[in-house]
Structure 1
Amino acid sequence: MLGLGLWGIERQGTLWGDEAVTYEMAQRSLPEIWRTLATADAVHGLYYLLIHLVFASWEPGLAALRLPSVLGMCATAAGVALIGRRLAGPRAGLLAGLVLPLLPAVQRYAQEGRSYALVCALVTGGTLLLLRRQWTAYGAVMLTACLLHEFAVLAVLAHGVTVWGGRARRGWTVAALWVTVAIAPLALFSTTQSGQVEWIGVPGPAELGGFGALALVGWGCARSPGGARVRAVALPLLVLPSALLMAVSYVHPLFVDRYVLAYGIGLALLLGAVLDFHWSPVLALAAAGAALLTLVAFGPFLRSPESRKNDVTAVAAVAAELGRPGDGLLFTPMRRRVWTLAHPDAFRGLTDLSLAASPRASDTLHGTELPPAAIRTALLAWTGRVVVFQDLRGEPLDAVPGEEMKREVLRRYFTLCEERVVGQVRVGVYARTGCGS
């Protein structure tokens, strides 16, 4: 896991949007971070504090940003091996620990400056403590996981299914109640920032198909003699968090696969136990071949800039190429202003026509914008070019007055002179007085 995590860790110098937020937030002072969390991303506050401490002891950079995730996945792999050993024997544990790093999702999030790998490490540690019935430590570890990402509470529910009907149920119930009470204030406060997840849609065929395939594989493994040894622990982790979050998403969309990444723990345990039960020289060669094929098929792509949407480094390069000193600048929707956080110099010569206060000055992620009428006045008073950063055509449009005003003024009074598409970003150069000006 360490080798795969360090392989291409800088991803050719690229960052995607959420990582750019982490990168910039971690470089704010502690009072600035605290004030920003009052307006946005409270659910990621503990993680931003951790990366702030990393940057305080090591020069900020892509390796420093992502190394905690690499180490988190290393701890996850080690923990999976220990769980497999405890439940199904040494070889099953070793195989489960070797399977985990080969999962493409694990390789991806081991190299991202977000909290998901650390949550996996804590869920794995919590699972070990659950098996040992060390309830105080279990509660503390799972609470920390929930503070890093609230949806780790779904893993607590999966643990409840594991122990339900056994003598450990009482200890788990007390620990789970303690975790729930402790996380409740943050969960309630985060509902005031629910607008940040409005981009999430109802699970579509791809998400349903992916979950169905994983559930089918897990069920098949769990039904086999080998998988039966780890079934009580592994199957709930694999299935329950994703199933619950998908079900909720048909009322209020919240499902994103990385939010329930701990499913990889259950999948690795089941596959490791099945491989161990049927182990033979032929299976060993087949497993080695499958591992090599997985690395060849997914490894290089996962470490390429194209593997992440909204590459802010590429967006900054286009801004520097298309923008001229003195040009206007517009982001629609305004949340796309996060593209400036990691490479502000690329946008420095441009005038942000809708901006009232910058992200850092306003203690926000996206800055604050002028009222719709003032945005219209600023755009109509601008006689030069405007470089506009937008989502791709066909993406949902924000139905808020400010964004509607930007789109209306561009449509009625400006001419699109040039346009580039970078991943899922559309960069257009608009002019009022003719494209030759």
Structure 2
Amino acid sequence: MRHWPAGASAVTVLLVGMWRIGSPQLWRDEVSSWSAASRSLGDLFAMLGNVDASNGAYYLLLHGWTALAGDSPTALRLPSAIAMAGTAWFTAMMAQWLFRSPAAGLAAGLLLAVAPSVSRYAQEARSYALVACAVTAALWCLVRALDRPADRTLDRPSWRWWVGFTVCTAVGGVLHLVSLVAVVGQLPLVLAAGRRALKPYAASVAVAVLPVVPLVVLGTVQAGRQLSWIERPDSEDLQFFWQGLIGAHQVMYALLGLVALGLLLPGAAAGTRAVTARLVLLAALPVLLVWLVSQGTTSYFADRYLLFTVPVWAIAAGGGVAAAYGAVRAADTRHTALSGAAATVLAVGLVAYPAHLAVPRERGVRGTTAHSPNDYSGAAELIARGYRSGDELIAAGGLEAWLMIGPALDYYLPEGVEPAQPYVVRSAEEADDLYPVESRVPEGGLRTAHRIWVVTNGTSGDPYQKLTAEQTAALRADFTPTEVRRVAGLTVSLLVRNQQ
């Protein structure tokens, strides 16, 4: 029964993550996940040699998963929902262990569910939830390895916990390289355990890094293309980073307030203050390091890359809840402490409720455009509704290729609706890339086309916006727009050949 706070936390986070999980359509990064995972293993490895090697482990995992579960939005996101529930389990277990309080464990696990970023990335077909689970599991193993009973020493550490720490750290690193900065935050915990902890810790980290080295080499080569969208952060970016990390400023302030209780309450035990202070360093140091590293030529400063630090804030806040009830009620019992923890989480949840509604763009539900400003499925529906055999398709590419409009339409168009794409000379699979290869002028021109669907980024109503000058000139010369429709973020136009 001692694990029930962790079980309750995991179930709660799973339920939160599963709520309308299939409603938001895939956004461009999730389309990339589907595009990579749906290829054969040979094609997938060929692609990883050119691009996105840092996500290769996740794509391989998703490749195997979709072979069993299919590639619906729900199926693609389900591993993330399960991983986030696992994160909640380890979060609650660690808080209960560190603060020797079931109330701390329950509060920490449930506070994790309150953070809007947690429910957001529990519904994301990317690696971030899995990384959070791996890093939190590694931390749990580390804490158990370091926290030896008084009659034993670190001369004979529990090798099972060190092995677990090594494996989980390696898994996190292979899934996302940035997760390795968690090691920096762990140093205060290790140093507090004494010099004898340094040797097994250093050995474990060294072994964990080995399988990541090939990804570091490939990732360094590919970083310019993959990370060019992230700007070099300044001090203001660091100041407002925490709000994006947690998902809402009101939840961030609530967590910080609870953490402060563990540090400042007069009745808090000295051990509680020390543990809370180390947890603050554990959560903050990785963010500060990534910010510093990002002052160089390549920036890695994106809140979702550091999602794995959110559970640590929840653990520290859980300790603050336990400290508050220990200080306020001298005759504290387990029942009153647990009741207080539940009441505290409920209060924070009520404060956070508007922020959770703001996660989707459609008020009050996880709507179709919750993840993406571009309504890919709506565009595909318009095409499918008016499609005729022989129709062709031009999806904005070139400098707009990063929006993944063409691959997203491939995902959402129903079977039997397969318009030819005259400007695509090699598909993404044939090019071993995430984007197809386009020509400036299609072979044979556009003489064979009678109707062309054009999907462009933006809703100005101009059917040629974001197309190249050559594409626009060719279409204007021989075609007339007969339908120009707008969906969220996109314009869908039907062009018909002029009568001769």
Structures share a fold, TM > 0.5?
yes
The CA deviation string for residues 330-378 of structure 1, in whole angstroms up to 9 with x for no partner, is: 32323323323422448945332331111223332212223x4x46984
* TM-score normalised over the length of structure 2: 0.73
- The 3-state SS of whatever aligns with 1:427 is strand
Query: 1:313 matched to which residue of 2?
Result: 377
- Residue 91 of structure 1 corresponds to 103
Q: Distance in 1 between matches of 2:415 and 2:228?
A: 29
SS in structure 1 opposite 2:124?
coil
**Taking every aligned residue pair, what percent have the same amino acid on both sides?**
26
Displacement of 1:4 in angstroms is 1.1
Report the CA distance between 1:257 and its aligned residue.
Answer: 1.0
Cα distance change, pair 208–232 in 1 and its aligned pair in 2 (3 A): closer
Q: Quick check: 1:5 aligned with 2:70?
A: no
Residue 315 of structure 2 corresponds to 269
Q: Which amino acid aligns with 2:73?
A: L
The residue that corresponds to 1:399 in the other structure is none
Q: Say whether residues 1:408 and 2:408 are aligned partners.
A: no
1:222 and 1:376 map into 2 onto residues whose CA distance is 69
Matched, 1:340 2:340: no
Structure 1 residues 200 and 314: CA distance shift in structure 2, 3 A: farther
Q: Is the 8 A contact 1:17 1:311 kept in 2?
A: no
Q: Structure 1 residues 57, 321: CA separation in 2 closer, same or farther (over 3 Å shift)?
A: closer
Give the alignment partner of residue 289 of structure 1, picking from 347, 370, 392.
347
User: Structure 2 CA distance, aligned partners of 1:147 and 1:388?
Assistant: 36
Asked if residue 247 in structure 1 is aligned to residue 292 in structure 2, the reply is: yes
Q: Distance in 2 between matches of 1:296 and 1:164?
A: 41
CA distance in 1, matches of 2:232, 2:458: 19
Q: Say if 1:432 and 1:244 are closer, same or farther in 2 by CA, change over 3 A.
A: farther
One-letter amino acid matched to 1:314: G
Please state if 1:16 is matched with 2:27: yes
Does the CA contact (< 8 Å) of 1:320 and 1:347 recur in 2?
Answer: no
Which residue matches 1:387? 454
Q: Could you say what secondary structure the match of 2:222 adopts?
A: helix
Counterpart for residue 329 of structure 1: 394
Report the equivalent of 1:396.
Answer: none
RMSD over aligned Cα atoms: 3.5
Alignment partners' CA distance in 2, 1:69 and 1:322: 36
Give the counterpart of 1:217 among 256, 259, 271.
256
Structure exhibiting the larger radius of gyration computed from Cα positions: 2
- Of 221-230 and 21-30, more deviation after overlay is shown by 221-230
Distance 1:202 1:428, change over 3 A: farther
Indicate the larger mover: 330-339 or 29-38: 330-339
Assess, with a 3 A threshold, how the Cα gap between structure 1 residues 276 and 178 changes in structure 2: closer, same or farther. same
State the alpha-carbon separation in 2 of the partners of residues 228 and 95 from structure 1. 17
The question of whether the paired residues in 2 share the 8 Å contact of 1:323 and 1:387 is answered with no
Q: How does 1:49-64 map to 2 (within 5 A)?
A: 49-64=60-75
When residues 412 and 184 of structure 1 are mapped into structure 2, their CA distance, relative to the original with a 3 A threshold, is same
CA 1:179–1:24 in 2, change beyond 3 Å: closer, same or farther?
same
Q: Which amino acid aligns with 2:424?
A: L
Separation in 2, partners of 1:18, 1:163: 36
Q: Which moved more, 1:425-434 or 1:142-151?
A: 425-434
1:314 Cα deviation from its structure 2 partner = 3.1
Residue 189 of structure 1 pairs with residue 256 of structure 2: no
Shift, 1:88, TM fit: 0.6
Following TM superposition, by how much is the alpha carbon of 1:239 offset from its aligned partner in structure 2, in angstroms?
A: 1.4
Q: Is the 8 A contact 2:114 2:352 kept in 1?
A: yes
Give the counterpart of 1:156 among 183, 196, 199.
183
Determine helix, strand or coil for the equivalent of 1:39.
Answer: coil
**AA at the equivalent of 1:41:** D
Higher deviation after alignment, 278-287 or 337-346: 278-287
1:137 alignment partner in structure 2: 164
Q: Equivalents in 2 of 1:47, 1:179: separation in Å?
A: 17
Structure 1 residues 3 and 430, CA gap change in structure 2 (3 angstroms): closer
User: 8 Å contact 1:340–1:347 — kept in the other structure?
Assistant: no
Alpha-carbon distance in structure 2 between the residues aligned to 1:39 and 1:380: 35
Give the aligned partner of residue 179 of structure 1: 208
Residue 124 of structure 1 pairs with residue 170 of structure 2: no
Could you tell me which runs of 5 or more consecutive residues in structure 2 were left unpaired when the two chains were aligned.
1-12, 146-160, 244-248, 329-338, 361-365
Residues 269-308 of structure 1 deviation map (CA, whole Å, 9 limit, x = unaligned) = 1211111211367785454233245346515854222321
Q: 1:75 to 1:292 in 2, by over 3 A?
A: same
Q: In the alignment, does 2:230 pair up with 1:200? A: yes
* Partner of residue 368 from structure 1, selected from 426, 433, 437: 437
> More deviation in 91-100 or 376-385?
376-385
User: What's the secondary structure of 1:51's corresponding residue?
Assistant: helix
The answer as to 2:333 corresponding to 1:304 is no
What TM-score, normalized to structure 1? 0.83
Kept in 1: contact 2:262–2:319 (CA 8 A): no
1:299–1:170 distance in 2 versus 1, CA, 3 Å = farther
Q: Secondary structure of the residue that 1:389 maps to in structure 2?
A: strand
Instruction: Name the SS of the counterpart of 2:425 in structure 1.
Output: strand
Q: Secondary structure at the match of 1:269?
A: helix
Q: Which moved more, 1:30-39 or 1:92-101?
A: 30-39
Q: Are the counterparts in 2 of residues 87 and 229 from structure 1 also a CA contact under 8 Å?
A: no
5+ residue gaps, structure 1, are 394-403
1:78 to partner: Cα distance: 0.9
- 1:186 Cα offset (Å): 1.0
Structure 1 residues 149 and 263: alpha-carbon distance in aligned structure 2, compared to 1, 3 A threshold = same
Mean CA deviation greater in 86-95 or 191-200: 191-200
Counterpart of 2:58 in structure 1 is 47
Contact 1:236 1:266 in 2 (8 A): no
- 1:215-272 CA distance string (max 9 Å, x none): 9938745633556253255223421222222333333222221111012111101211
| Aligned residue identity for 1:366 | Y
Give the Cα–Cα distance (whole angstroms) in 1 for the partners of residues 341 and 207 of structure 2: 45
Offset at residue 64 of structure 1 (A): 2.2
Q: Distance in 2 between matches of 1:282 and 1:176?
A: 39
